[in-house]
């Protein structure tokens, strides 16, 4: 993966999290046409827009409930040890 792929990947993920291209373009205050070109790699993602996108991703992941993982103390067992 090249460093130039990271902003495009962030935008693609933000489209999923925001519920579509139009919703993301509204949040970022950029036209859907420009956003599509950035996602396709036809146009460079400006640093401020990338920073704003990362902020949206962090905010979205911070508000989600953490995934349940087995407690390391019980090794994931549900019943008594023999």
**Does some domain include residue 80?**
no
Looking up residue 56, the CATH number of its domain turns out to be 1.10.260
Amino acid 30: pLDDT: 96
Q: Which two tokens stand for residue 21?
A: 């291209």
Residues 12-57 have pLDDT tens digits of 999 999 999 999 999 999 999 999 999 999 999 999 999 999 999 9
Amino acid 78: pLDDT: 62
Amino acid 32: pLDDT: 96
Q: Domains in the chain: how many in total?
A: 1
Residues 68-79 have pLDDT tens digits of 665 555 555 566
Query: DSSP code of 44?
Result: P
Angle at 63 between CA 46 and CA 61, to 5 degrees: 45
pTM above 0.75, yes or no: no
**Does some domain include residue 79?**
no
Measure the CA–CA gap between 14 and 25, rounded to whole angstroms: 10
Query: 52 is in which domain, residue-wise?
Result: 5-62
**Does some domain include residue 19?**
yes
């Amino acid at each position: 993966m090249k460093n130039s792929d990271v902003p495009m990947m962030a935008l693609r993920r933000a489209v999923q999290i925001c519920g579509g291209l139009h919703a993301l373009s509204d949040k970022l205050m950029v036209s859907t046409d420009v956003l599509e070109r950035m996602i396709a790699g036809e146009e460079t993602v400006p640093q401020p827009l990338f920073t704003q996108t990362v902020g949206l991703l962090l905010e979205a992941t911070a508000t989600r409930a953490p995934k349940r993982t087995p407690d390391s103390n019980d090794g994931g067992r549900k019943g008594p040890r023999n």
